[in-house]
Amino acid sequence: METIAVVITILIIISVLLYAWAVYDLIKHRSEFKKKIYQGLWLMVVVFLPVIGAVTYLSVKKSIR
């Protein structure tokens, strides 16, 4: 297997794991949001922009709860 294929495979696996972690965290901690609308908005961001949305949510989640 070529090096670039290995790197791309690893990046895809990391992206899927970040996406799953963000969705799981959003669903698990639904009662901890300051306003209920925030959970829905963040879930839409994570679903429609998987990598960028997941990274952004996971980096700012303490400030939005």
The Cα 22–Cα 32 span in angstroms is 15
Which of 27, 46, 31 is CA-nearest to residue 60? 46
Q: pLDDT, tens digit, for every residue of 7-47?
A: 999 999 999 999 999 999 999 988 788 888 888 999 999 99
CA angle 17, 54, 45 (to 5 degrees): 135
Query: What pLDDT score was predicted for residue 46?
Result: 94
Kindly report the pTM of this predicted structure: 0.82
Round to the nearest angstrom and report the end-to-end CA distance of the chain.
44
